[in-house]
Amino acid sequence: MQLHFLIDGKELHISGSIGISLFPNDGEDIWTLLRDSDIAMYHAKKNGRNNCEFFKPEMNRQAKERHSMEVALRNALKRGELLLHYQPIVNINGGKADGFEVLLRWQHPDDGLIYPIKFIRLAEETGMIIPIGEWLMRQSCLQIKAWQNQGYEVPRLAINLSAIQFRQKIIVENIVRILDKTGVKGHYLTLEITESELIENVEETIKTLQQLSELGIEISIDDFGTGYSNLSFLKRYQINTSKIDRSFVRDIPGDPEDTAIIDAILVMAHALGLEVIAEGVENEQQLAYLVLHGCTRFQGFYFSEPLPATEIEKKWKIRGYSLLTLIS
């Protein structure tokens, strides 16, 4: 049973997470035992807190791997190992890419190209997402400038913003500084945030989104449909686009539940005046279903994988970023 305390009229709960290591199996001296129980305690916290975990040698290996990855990630930014790929967002009205999503990659000196699924969580947990996010935004703006200087008609770049970045008090200030320094207008940026970021601190969020909108920045809700399904926030916020998560697109048109969800998202988003982008479109059948049900913007391997800037430029040179270039 959890005890609770009444302090200043508020009910506060305290829970404990306990890590246990056993002598002599887990260690023969106090320092080893303490280290191992500490590792086990972190596992207890990670598994929902308020419970206990016994140390297992496997945990030590994971802790070591995590530590070496953390050190490597800290150096990655300094050593220029992070890079950006760009994936076209295609609009069938007009028949070309009207945006690119910026996706982070890590060129690890030993392990090769690492995808964000392997390191974004760690970057968030260690706070490194803040300097990485700022670097990414500056780099994206510099890329816009570079493409403009080469004469390309650059569409908006969509940048993923993690909850930790979004909740920073100085997020708008930081973005304004980067835009000023690089000479790029906010009209060239979309920020992708997830639903869960929108349900906390509603008044503060309304203000932030309003300030971003005044800068010309658009807001996209990422992984739409996977979050809290509290739809009332959609009305209150300055949001332009929702992105249907690729988990719903994967099995259409065969899966009746997914098609029902997609139909519902499209109807609702359009009623609210939101644009919709379907993510993870990999084949013609998925595309045909989405088009038939009123979706006009798409992203996925069917059109193009995320590519480095130089590859994007090659495609651009052929026939502009038209659908024909993308599918051929």
First to last CA, the chain: 63
> Can residue 160 be called a binding residue for ligand C2E (CB under 6 A)?
yes
Residue 246 Cβ vs Ca ion, minimum distance, rounded to whole Å: 6
Residues ≥6 apart with Cβ < 8 Å to 92: 291, 296, 297, 298, 323
DSSP letter, residue 7: E
User: Do strands 52-54 and 18-20 pair parallel, antiparallel, or not at all (unpaired)?
Assistant: parallel
Interface pick for ligand C2E out of 115, 260, 264, 288 (rule CB under 6 A): 115
Q: Which is nearer to Ca ion, 197 or 279 (CB)?
A: 279
> Can residue 136 be called a binding residue for ligand C2E (CB under 6 A)?
yes
Residues ≥6 apart with Cβ < 8 Å to 255: none
> Can residue 134 be called a binding residue for ligand C2E (CB under 6 A)?
no
CA distance 202 to 189: 23
Cβ-proximal residue to ligand C2E, closest one = 300
CA distance 221 to 198: 9
Q: Determine contact, residues 192/165, Cβ cutoff 8 Å.
A: no
Which residues, numbered 191-230, are part of the site for Ca ion (CB under 5 A)? 192, 222-223
Binding string to Ca ion for residues 141 to 180, with x set by CB under 5 A, is what? -------------------x--------------------
Q: Which is nearer to ligand C2E, 55 or 289 (CB)?
A: 289
Residue 23 Cβ vs Ca ion, minimum distance, rounded to whole Å: 48
> Can residue 263 be called a binding residue for ligand C2E (CB under 6 A)?
no
The alpha carbon torsion through 130, 139, 174, 99 (nearest 10 deg) reads -100
Q: Which is nearer to ligand C2E, 19 or 306 (CB)?
A: 306
CA distance 119 to 283: 29
Task: By CB under 5 A, name the binding residues for Ca ion.
Answer: 160, 192, 222-223, 279
| Contact residues: ligand C2E, CB under 6 A | 87, 103-104, 115-117, 120, 136, 160, 162, 222-223, 246, 279-282, 299-301, 306
